[in-house]
Amino acid sequence: MAERTVLVTGATGLVGTEVVAQLLTTTNSKIYVLVRANSEEEAAGRLRALWWGDETLVNSVGKRVQPITGDIIKPLDTPHMDITHVIHCAAETGVQKSRRELRNINIDGTRHVVRMAELLPHLQRFIHVSTAYVAGTQSGVITEDGPLATQFYSQYEQSKAEAEQIVRAATVPYIICRSGMIVGNSQTGRTRNFNTIYYVLKLILQGKMRVLPISSKQTVNLIPVDHVAQQVVNLAFAPGAEGHTFHLTPSADSLPQAGELVEAVRAWAKANLSIDIPKPIYLPLPMLRTIGKRYNAGQEAKKRSLLSNLTALMPYFFDDHVFDRTNTDQFAGKYQLNWRSYLPTLLEFACRHNFMRVNDNTIFQQAVQRRESRHYPITYYNITAHGTEHVTGHEMNMMVNGYVNLLHEYGVKPGDKVALSGINCAEHAAIDNAIGLAGAVSVPIYYTTPADEIALLMAKSGVRLFFVGDERVMTNVEGLSENIQIIPFGPMKKEGSPSWTNYTGQSASHLTLSSELATIRYTSGTTGEPKGVMFSYSQLKWMGEVLTNLLSWHDRNSEMRYLSFLPMSHVVEGILAAYAPYCMLCKAKIYYLTNFQMLTQALPKVRPTVFFSVPRFYEKLWEQIEQNPLGQRYLMMSNGPLKRLTATLLRRAVLRKAGLDKCSQLLVGSAPISEELLLHFRQLGIEIYNAYGQTEAPLITLSRLDDNVIPSIGTPLPDTTVDIAPDGELVVSGPQVALGYYNLDTTTFKDGKLYTGDLGHKDTDGHVYISGRKKDMLITSYGKNINCTKIEQRLMDISCVEHAVLVGEQRPYCTALLWTTGNNDTLATDVERMNQQLSHPEQVKRYLIISTPLSIARGELTPNLKVKRNVVIEHYAQQIETLYANG
């Protein structure tokens, strides 16, 4: 038998999680955790999902931390006879819960845990985690070992008081630990629920609490959860502590006053969210405490609303208890934390998660819940050639449910591969959601993918079902294996086709482990065969959450309008943009453009609040400015007041006409954009923010509001590190780095790090700059290293050049193949001007205009329209030789 073996209940909750973390880092104890699950495997999966992001906790599951199944609302079997300590953290803390819910967990649950503990032959101590608010309506100094209150401000308080009585009446060597108002971890901010004080903090940050019905001198009893956990673990093993009660609360002289707390929040918001929160008016209304008490006395659960939430919390914001710490100071030491030191960490974590509950739901489960929200509805729109179709969140969930049932009907099991390709539409998104809920692995395919490549990808990934919603794809799947079932959707549906409407019964849910494979996203294959990039469920959720952080606080709390027009197989559209709306608590309208050619007509109708596109969109936008009479006049002006005034008028006109006048951020990515173009837009007063990522890590860095350093690609995302290898390669580590390639060993991923193949550097402020691709370097016959991407980008900055391929490997000088549009009369002059800005070896001595468009079918373009340089050079080898004829 181990010297100390600890059983922890409530390990999936806030306090229990921190207690396990403390046990791991400060003791050598063997740890069992009681988890509500059908099997120990399922219990382990729940723990890993909830603890994801904490490497120590996640890696401990199945090793020092052994999950055992059980539900405290039912009698418990004696799990392991070697248990020496039981730390009972499981509790229902919702003040607005019904009396029945509170009794089931807090009273009956405690009774069941105590009875189980009484049967443990080696039990040394039973630690019951309670709340200081069992003091109820008592006032003044509350002693630790004094009598319990008889009247309470809520059913929650009463249930915890009754639980203490059960512990005291038992035959176990107990201690009782009563915490104050628990907030997140003082070091990380980590918490589960954003209730109690968090609810008020959110309202303050949103500018919705201009009047506070309390005194500015009212103290607030905040206690970080890691401090509570540390004290619980210390007291669990403290000699002589048996039979005592401990107040795990701050000392009276270290409590923040409401006025101090609010001022600190206002200062933090100004520095970190760039918002000025008006100073509130303090208007003490003590009668609200009594009103709150009466409201909380109701035995039924309360409906959540602004008024209901505030009313339920009122007794705790008129708290006049003074909690004695005599026992705690003696056995655990004096309280030494300063609330000002950890408040910024709490606020940063809360805002990063948009004050949304942190749970073990997958992003697909979270999407279903968000769509049913009455306060923050999500609505979908299909923009078609015939008009706009409207789909409510509830209707979307019905569609998702139908597709889950359809998948089950076709025998799809967890882990099976299901391909998906088609136009952007709500149904496309519903199928993706259904695949995730069924526990299957989605395999999105570009609708421009040639037939032979589709067959290759199906074979590589082992797809058994293929949803097709585009005519081009339907034509290309005729030769696929008979083992692959084709299911049409969207415009491809015909009479007799399988339809979700035939499967409307309630779908069975599948418990998915966060570490399981969720999707395979194929690379474009610019340098070879496409590779299947693997992402887990937890990664998809993290990417959805982190993207919302890149929006301003105002935008995260205002109605969001988003236009989905890039192919949904693209990682930006299909992962980042597809899942981010479900990680915000705001009204959202998501528009799907069924025909990419309608983009310029759709944007003014949607007027999105955030917009992402490839560089070519912005290049065309600038070309329109150059062709606009006012734009031409502006470009001819000298710097001065008149040009600034013209810029203002032109900027407003351009953005309004483009439908981008309501955008808070214009983002660009997926390919390099010209530094000159970004500076042109900046001079006009339009900021465009560079985003950098790869299929293997969809978003790595981003230029931020108030930190847009051109030509950098911004700074790394949270939890993300970008290092520079000795040869200049960018090496990335972070939660967005893929699990690897499907069925392919590679040196691209090493020890959880992504070797990007991009060359670059960082400045002292952490901004990252890219200079090119390792594979995009050519070496001339004179031994000069030339960056192809750099020169090709300069060529494509010339207005008439659509594509450029640089040639020069083992040649005496550089030449180029060019594909042009429109008038190219000034091309020779433009190339000469470009050459003047390049070193001699980099200069393009000759070029050839190719009249035949680049083709996906001939393998010259990837499905997402990137140029395959090696294929193009091979196809035009004869023409290239003419560029080097006669020296």
At 110, give phi and psi (nearest 5°). -65, -40
Superfamily covering domain 615-661+664-771: ANL, N-terminal domain (3.40.50.12780)
Q: How far is residue 437's CA from residue 427's CA, in Å, rounded to a whole number?
A: 15
Average pLDDT over residues 191-206: 92
Check residue 527 and give its pLDDT.
63
Encoded tokens for 357: 């509950």
Higher pLDDT, 720 or 515: 720
Kindly state the average pLDDT of the residues 241-250: 97
Could you state, in order of their start, the residue ranges of all structural domains in the chain?
A: 5-345, 401-552+568-574, 615-661+664-771, 780-883
pLDDT for residue 501 is more than 90: no
Alpha-carbon dihedral 230, 235, 238, 239, rounded to 10 degrees? 180
Q: Tell me: the pLDDT tens digits for 502-548?
A: 888 787 667 777 789 999 999 877 667 789 999 999 999 999 998 88
Residue 1 has pLDDT above 50, yes or no: no
Query: 5-345 in CATH: which number?
Result: 3.40.50.720
CA-based Rg of the chain, rounded to a whole angstrom? 31
Instruction: For residues 406 and 434, give the distance between their C-alpha atoms in angstroms, rounded to a whole number.
Output: 9
* Residue at 60: amino acid letter: S
Count Cβ atoms below 10 Å from residue 857 Cβ, excluding itself.
Answer: 10
User: Which class is domain 401-552+568-574?
Assistant: alpha beta
- DSSP letter assigned to residue 87: E
CB 522 within 8 A of CB 449: no
70-83 in b/e burial notation, b at 16+ Cβ within 10 A?
Answer: bebbeebeebeeeb
Contact 610, 555 (CB under 8 A): yes
Tens digit of pLDDT for each residue in 437-465?
999 999 999 988 888 889 999 999 999 99
Is the model's pLDDT at 576 over the cut of 90?
A: no
Domain 780-883 has CATH 3.30.300.30: yes
**Do 5-345 and 780-883 have matching folds?**
no
Across 277-296, average pLDDT: 91
* 673 compared with 588, residue with greater pLDDT: 588
Strand 387-391 to 378-384 pairing: antiparallel
Q: Would the pLDDT of 140 be above 60?
A: yes
pLDDT digits (tens, 9 = 90+) for 9-67: 999 999 999 999 999 999 999 999 999 999 998 899 889 988 988 889 999 999 999 99
Does residue 100 have a pLDDT over 70?
A: yes
pLDDT at 887 over 70: no
User: Which pLDDT value is given to residue 515?
Assistant: 83
Per-residue confidence (pLDDT) for residue 54, from 0 to 100: 87
Instruction: Please state, in angstroms and rounded to a whole number, the distance separating the CA atoms of residues 81 and 249.
Output: 34
pLDDT given at position 426: 96
Check whether 491 has a pLDDT greater than 60.
Answer: yes
Strands (E), 148-193: 174-179, 181-183
Question: What global pTM score does this model have?
Answer: 0.86
Residue 521 contacts by C-beta under 8 Å, 6 or more apart in sequence? 444, 532, 533, 535, 569, 571, 574, 575, 695
Q: What is the rounded average pLDDT for all residues in the chain? A: 92
Say how far apart CA 52 and CA 54 lie, in whole Å: 6
Q: Give me the percent of the chain exceeding a pLDDT of 70.
A: 99
Q: What is the largest CA-CA distance in the chain?
A: 104
* For residue 824, pLDDT beyond 60: yes
pLDDT, tens only, 723-744: 999 999 999 999 999 999 999 8
